Chain A
């Protein structure tokens, strides 16, 4: 004790300070530390939950991004496929339409050719008949008065013989 006193330490003061400290420590522990710890714990819990939610949100966002990428990729593929199919169908339709048009045109041409042939033949026939009629008319006109009584008598006798044969 004396030694401590030599070093300038007042034992009573020290004791009182220790007691004071203990009392303050007890009071603080009893009334302030627990609520503060509780608040800190709550805060920690809230932060942890926030962090967890943020992590979940980040994961969800990443998943959503992934899904979006997949959907976009799928949609792109489908669109590409649809375009290919549309191109193919367009090509087929064009080919079919072209074939049908060609066939129809050929049919019309064949019919027209046939019609032309028929009409040409008909015209030739009419022309031939007309020419022969004209020839006969010309002959009739030019032969009028050409034959005399002698020729007429000969032909008449022949005609009578023919009639007689028929009558017999």
Chain B
């Protein structure tokens, strides 16, 4: 530990505290807010300073953890994206997104197994299986729209949220009953490790190819979604419905159809997430708990922001890996379990709508 270890957190702390006050300028603020912000700024400063000192001890190891964390964070973003789409378009906080990943994964892996067992060549079987699981997701979207969402039109957010928990149970039960409930390995992407930046750090840094694939896929997905939302007729209708569904209906946008599309797109996003996560962990029941991992990502980024889901994922991924390694040795292991949530809570205290969420304007 040298003087620089303390200088850095001090400097960053001052910077962050300043930044927070700038962010909050013109906001309605109370004494409690002030205390909380100063406290948070100090804690963040200490944490970052602490990380910085660790980074200086072992730059290679630090970068390896950081990059690995960022990439695994992108995988959380894949799940969070589905949430954002549905929340944007229908105001439904969809707890079932994790279950949808499970359904998509099971449909994919089981149909793939079935086809290869029948002697279909792998290259032909993969598109067929993807087509089949896409159809399954469309069915899910149809059923949820027709039997859950439409009858609950105009109910408050909490009721809708609870109904998606109900839907989660149904999806989990059905998927496992139909497709089976064991661990099914899926091999769509290479999972072998690779070494990067050998010329920068001694020994380079070790990362998993799958994580890189995850990053690429997430990038492609975000671009596709952005184009879809921004430049297609359906996309425009989606944005209209997201703004005000009654008004959208009054200009002739078929709202049930739009919601079906949204849930379908969310289902397809779940399918994409399932290909990556299924390759990583094998398709199994515990994949549904991804929903709980995606929630902090979501609130850090903001419920309504697609880029927010990505940035949130990066922050959570890197933050929790670094915290686990460096803080874990101080206060006990397993803090990955809650770190993302505490981080999210801290972010919300400063920006109640998340980093990229629309500012909540209170009127009376």
A binds B: no
Interface residues in chain B, defined as those with a beta carbon under 8 Å from any beta carbon in chain A = none
